[in-house]
A and B are shown apart, each in its own frame.
Chain A
């Protein structure tokens, strides 16, 4: 797979607020890349810079080996599916889809065929003469897709396209999007704040926060080996605890020392302060006194397949989140055990705000 888009040290600020702090990103041909992060993390601005709606203050945008930083949006070989779909309300479904082809003066017969093909592709066969306001949210979403793809873009930029849909429709559309991507064989650059969406669809997930890329990798890498507490916290539920490396491959958590598998080689020499992440499903419940920690269950919630429990550690400093298939009662005293390979040692997050706090300590 060749490289199709490359961002080189993109910096962007609005009214003195830094939005992007030097983004470097590479998107390969035919890849499904998702920018994931909370609102205000800079993901939408990144997309708008690629789409040509914003100019970066610094840095270059490369597309297929050419510098397109100064190319206006209407000359870029990519199309956008906007967050609120941005369908033209004064045109029919068909006219919306035909828009990009008409401005390029394609022959009418070609346009007609294309509309038909695109509507079939998004399962809206025969809807071309409907008015936009007669269509439901899910249908509008499909029309926005169709309007973009008839232009045969090399890349489709999708800005939270499922954000306005309800849960069930959102899950259906996730499969649909993956199918569409396969059929079209083009690159998708997708934006969402929903970690589940990101993990299910993407080839590559790029986690962003406060204008920095925190981590990029396959969904498995992101979930299993988050590089810092922000990523771990954002992807799924986690226990994130302050820890200190007190010796080679030994970490002190909650006042006790434990062996772990990370050490100087991984960048965590003794005496360094770290974040420790333990996934709630990795904590086993054992009889009282037989685990690494002891604690009391302070709340319990049945959430479908398993129970979620909060356990107050005996030293009283940490509340642990546990997920377990067995039922235990509130008030029960239990022991907790974690295998060394499930204790993840991580750097404190990359962000000016948080590093500033750290200096204060």
Chain B
């Protein structure tokens, strides 16, 4: 086609202004001291006890909620695959609808449920049990993550699972495989691309969140996202904040590369 290359010019400018320079400025601040000299201090600050603890907890909670989402999503995707057409549309609708609710409001809903004066405690005390401290716990944060991100796990897995040719599953049975073996050797391996994109879409926001931990952790539980956010909004130490962001980026890139290894299609299913 006689398409003109120059049509892409606004896009290229936008990439430079919106992506390249901003990322470069993170790198600049990350390697600069408050006094303006070059330094590794902002990067190495990640090894401080508080920061390591926050990063460790972030990784732990993100892994736990990703695994829970995966375990909950896979059967749902299989059920969706096997349900009849009309019902399938309805079920997907049911899963998509909560995603349209503002995610802060969805997180707030759990605050309302879990709080000391909240709905669940009201139910607990109504049957004569002592009030429970449900909020401000790592468990509450995991719950919030799972609730917010579950649809992002279900949809990509369903997407790949629904494309598996039924004949492949029949072929496995035909060759003598049991149900378990058909899952282990045919269905799950073929679902890997969907699992990889689902895991990416849950793990990265879970690892980097500061909103969920703020709202359900009551500011008492610090994740790496909270630390970085506070450097920018409270302490106004952009240098340290940028340095920690860079380290976090490395973690994200590393985990994505690790995930891509499982996915031979090279991330085609990411969206």
Inter-chain contact A79/B174, CB cutoff 8 Å: yes
Bound CA span A159–B175, Å: 15
A151: interface (CB < 8 Å) = yes
Contact A79 B165 (CB under 8 A): no
- Closest Cβ of chain A: how far from B246's Cβ, in Å? 37
Nearest CB of B to A231, in Å: 30
Count A-side interface residues using an 8 Å CB cutoff.
24
Contact segment of A81-89, A114-122, A346-354: A81-89
Which applies to chain A's interface (DSSP): helix, strand, loop or mixed? loop
Contact check, A82 vs B190: say whether CB atoms are below 8 A apart: no
Please, how many angstroms separate the alpha-carbon atoms of A84 and B186 in the complex?
Answer: 17
What is the 8 Å Cβ interface bit string for chain A, positions 143-186, against chain B (1 contact, 0 not)? 00001100100000000000000000000000000000000000
Contacts A73-B170, A86-B170, A88-B186 given: A147-B165 contact, CB under 8 Å?
Answer: no
Does A22 reach chain B (CB closer than 8 Å)? no
Contact of B176 with A74 in the complex, beta carbons under 8 Å: yes
Q: Give, as a whole number of angstroms, the nearest-CB distance from B147 to chain A.
A: 33
- Give the contact-size bracket for chain B: 10 to 19
Is residue B185 within 8 Å, beta carbon to beta carbon, of the partner chain?
Answer: yes
Task: Scan B226-237; emit 1 where CB is below 8 A from any A CB, else 0.
Answer: 000000000000
Interface assignment of B181: CB less than 8 Å from any CB of chain A = yes
Residue of A nearest to B184 (CB): A103
Q: Does B113 contact A (CB under 8 A)?
A: no
**Is B12 located at the chain interface by the 8 A CB criterion?**
no
- For the complex, would chain B's binding face be called helix, strand, loop or mixed by DSSP majority? helix
Q: In the assembled complex, which residues on chain A have CB atoms less than 8 Å from the CB atom of B189?
A: 90
Contact between A103 and B175, CB atoms less than 8 A apart: yes
A100 to B181, CA, bound (A): 11
The yes or no answer to A209 lying at the interface (CB within 8 A) is: no
Contact A100 B175 (CB under 8 A): yes
Instruction: Enumerate chain A residues within 8 angstroms of B185, measured Cβ to Cβ.
Output: 99, 103
Quick one: given A86-B165, A90-B190, are A99 and B177 in contact (CB under 8 Å)? yes
Q: Is A267 an interface residue (CB 8 A)?
A: no
CA A147 to CA B186, docked complex, whole Å: 15
For B171, give its contact among A52, A80, A90, A104 (CB under 8 Å). A80
Tell me if A37 counts as interface (CB < 8 A to partner B): no
Contact between B176 and A100 (Cβ–Cβ < 8 Å)? yes
Per the bound structure, the CA–CA distance linking A86 and B176 in Å amounts to: 15
Measured CA separation A82–B173 after assembly (Å): 12
Q: How many angstroms between the C-alpha atoms of A153 and B165 in the bound complex? A: 24
Closest B-chain residue to A144, C-beta based? Answer: B171
21 contacts between A and B (CB under 8 A): A74-B172, A74-B173, A74-B176, A74-B178, A75-B176, A82-B167, A83-B167, A84-B165, A84-B167, A86-B168, A86-B170, A87-B171, A99-B172, A99-B175, A100-B176, A100-B177, A103-B175, A103-B176, A103-B185, A104-B176, A151-B175
Give me the interface of B with A, judged by CB distance under 8 Å. 165, 167-168, 170-178, 181, 185-186, 189-190, 192, 264
